[in-house]
Amino acid sequence: MLFDLRAGGRRRLVQVVYLSLAILLGGGLVLFGIGGDVSGGLFDAFREDSSQSNATQQLEDRLEEEDKKLQTNPNDAAALAEKAKLHYQIAGAGENFNTDQGRFTAEGLAQLRLAERSWDRYLATEPEELNTGVAIQMVQVFSTAGLNKPDKAVEAMELYIAERPESSNLFAQLAQLSYLAGQDRKGDLAADKAVELANEDDRRTLREQLDSVKTEALQAQAQQAATTPAPAPSG
């Protein structure tokens, strides 16, 4: 796990916070898995069945099984969630992900878009119990390493965190994602909650690091705005 305020002391928190923020500012936090007690980091998914030469085929076979279920019931929430997960895993299988460059190939990105489509359909069914394992994977699908849709990454993280409302580490990550998405007010609220839930001795360090993320995000947004050409006048 990336953050763990439940075990260890100030030294552990400082180490983890610095590591997580450094990775995040580089656009790679989601590659290593986030969310406390759930596995599902990008590299974890890519290692699944990596020792088997037919890993991709096995995943595709499982996709066909889910498609058959959806032919019978297009609103089968469980099947849609499974499809989102499987497309996410296929995106990292074989040559779909360049581990040296940390980037998806065109086919890998195509699989992520299919994962997004299945996820959107899944949410449209308004499932009674959210599949949080898939939700945290979708945070990674929408990351800068994936489809680069920060608003949807924040949404997926919020859905995930709703099941774990007392986790300082998750609120810290939500704050980071929100700042990257330009949702500063939401980021501030999440940061406040993260600090509130943290151990008293850790709060100052955590606040400083989240403030640093916000500053970096604001600077990046300002730089992007400065370099983005103004739209040509119509008519």
pLDDT tens digits for range 171-226: 999 999 999 999 999 999 999 999 999 999 999 999 999 999 999 989 888 887 78
Q: Is residue 23 part of a domain?
A: yes
pLDDT above 60 for 53: no
Q: Is residue 222 part of a domain?
A: no
Q: Is residue 1 part of a domain?
A: no
Q: Is residue 220 part of a domain?
A: no
In which domain, by residue range, is 200 found?
Answer: 10-48+58-211
Distance of alpha carbon 67 from alpha carbon 65, whole angstroms: 5
Query: How high is the pLDDT of residue 87?
Result: 95
Q: Is residue 5 part of a domain?
A: no
Query: How high is the pLDDT of residue 103?
Result: 83
Quote the number of domains for the chain: 1
CATH of the domain at 200: 1.25.40.10
1-48: per-residue pLDDT in tens? 333 333 343 334 433 443 444 334 333 333 333 333 344 444 444 444
